[in-house]
Each structure stands twice: as structure tokens, then as C-alpha cells.
Amino acid sequence: MFESLCIRDLRISAESLDGSLYHYRDQLGVEVDAIIQLRDERWAAVEIKLGAGEIEQAAQNLLSFSQNIDTDKTPPPSFLMVMTGIKYAFQMDNGVWVVPIGCLRN
């Protein structure tokens, strides 16, 4: 249920910016919970994890995913984010943002 709530809020936020929200999965089994795509080609990747114990692995998955992007065909992501149920937002040393769902507002 937490993931569905996050997807709903991300979709509302993306649409308010005239963007779209997608799910990503490829033939190699790489999966990202949400891709936010804006009309100007900016985009971001989001993993959704309820518990703090899952943040580090989710961040590593996002970094691995972003390093395999063909930047000749698409720009690099504007940001990578792990959306969680924790209390505070912060940026990890690796550049991935950790953001509680309560921080999403229009």
C-alpha cells in the first residue's frame, strides 16, 4: 500500500509540472519503481522503500541503473531519489536524495 500511495503522489506532482510518470523494467530484469519524465526531456528515477534498512540498496540500484544509460540517446537523470517513510530528507554522499513521502507538496 505504501508504494501505491507514493506512486499516486508522484503522479500528481509530475502532472502538475506537465510531466508523466512511468515504471521501468527491461529484459535484463533491471527495474525502477518510478520514472518522472518532463516535456523538456528532463527526467528522474525513484525507488520506493518503506524502511530505512532498505535505503542503501535502493540507492545502489539507482546508481547502477543510471550508469547504464546511453547518454547519446537520452540525457542523464536530473536526480535519483529513494522515497521512504522515514522522518527527514537528506542527500547521501553518493548524490542520491532520500525523501519522505510527506515532503511532496505542490
Share of the chain above pLDDT 70, in %: 98
51 pLDDT higher than 90: no
Alpha-carbon gap, residue 5 to 32, rounded angstroms = 16
Q: Write the CATH number of the domain with boundaries 2-103.
A: 3.40.91.50
Give per-residue pLDDT as tens, 53-96. 999 999 999 999 999 888 889 999 999 999 999 989 999 999 99
Q: Where are the domains of the chain?
A: 2-103
Alpha-carbon gap, residue 92 to 103, rounded angstroms = 17
